[in-house]
Amino acid sequence: MPIIRLRLAATLLAAVACVSATPAALADGMPYPRGSVKDAPMVVPSAGPCYFRTDVGYSWSRDPDVRWTVTDPNTFLFVTDRVTKVSADNSWFGEVGLGCGSGPHGIRGELIYGYHGKRNISGEPGPWTVPPGVDPLHTAVTTHTLMFNAYYDLGRWMDRFVPYVGAGVGTAYNITDEVYFTGNPALINRIHGDERWSLAWSLMAGVGWQVSERVVLDFGYRYLDMGKAESGHVDNAGFWNPKVRLDDLTAHEFKFGLRFALGGAPCCAFLK
């Protein structure tokens, strides 16, 4: 009888020890690789290949080619008069867009919308205006662009910097303000403005600075050709006029912005 009691006591002690050891074993990381029940795994998204971007910049406008049709005082035929001493103001611009890439060394593509602020344009009509050069022309152009840009990232330097080159093609929506002349009382009427879609293209170079896993600070240069713009025909007095045409709306632009990486494939991480 004592022997049976001793065996029962030993069995009970072994069971208690086994139950007591189970939480310790769990805490030591049997089901979890990081060694604690509180370190429960959770799923978080890593930085993916696609991103949202926003930019601001300054545009140094090049002088456009401005022409309009006038009457030859000798033959009374219509001729194209080229405006001389053309001057175009600079302006600020802003952009937003979405893009995807293949990493710090490879191809990257973007679809991006841009708004270019109003640029005042002035000049003096040429030799066919009577008298020539005494009636300065004035107008302004505002531009919206929608571009597809392709880049080639040249690899990561110093662990953070990724230089790139690129080119873009798209469309420009050019809005021309009213056109007016000063200096001659016979030409005080203001020709109504107009709107025009035009082909746009660009060449780019810059560098991206990897601030964090998801954020890249982008510094870039761009040569942008925004195509053509033009005025309307009717002036504020109701008279018909030839259109004033503005060709080669181009600019040298410098911009800086941020690229925010969107979530990619999920991966495992642990709360600490």
pLDDT in tens, the chain (272 residues): 444 444 434 444 344 344 344 444 434 444 444 444 445 454 445 567 899 999 999 999 999 988 877 655 555 545 566 777 889 999 999 999 999 998 788 999 999 999 999 999 988 876 555 445 556 888 999 999 999 999 999 998 988 999 999 999 999 999 999 998 875 555 677 889 999 999 999 999 999 999 998 999 999 999 999 999 999 999 888 888 888 999 999 999 999 999 999 976 544 433 33
Q: What count of Cα atoms within 13 Å lies in the side-chain half-sphere of residue 136?
A: 11
Three-state SS string across the chain, please?
CHHHHHHHHHHHHHHHHHHHHHHHHHHCCCCCCCCCCCCCEEEEEEEEEEEEEEEEEEEEECCCEEEEEEECCCCCCEEEEECEEEEECCEEEEEEEEEEECCCEEEEEEEEEEEEEEEEEEEECCCCCCCCCCCCEEEEEEEEEEEEEEEEEECCECCCEEEEEEEEEEEEEEEECCEEECCCHHHCCCECCEEEEEEEEEEEEEEEEECCCCEEEEEEEEEEECCCEECCCEECCCCECCCEEEECCEEEEEEEEEEEEEEEEEEEEECC
Query: Which residues have C-beta within 8 Å of that of residue 22, sequence separation ≥ 6?
Result: none
pLDDT of residue 83: 79
pLDDT of residue 89: 95
pLDDT of residue 220: 97
Start-to-end Cα distance in the chain: 54
pLDDT of residue 71: 54
pLDDT of residue 166: 98
- Strand pairing partners for 12? none
pLDDT of residue 209: 96
Q: Specify the domain boundaries for CATH 2.40.160.20 within the chain.
A: 41-270
CATH T-level fold of 41-270: Porin (2.40.160)
- CA geometry: angle 66, 70, 72, nearest 5 deg: 130
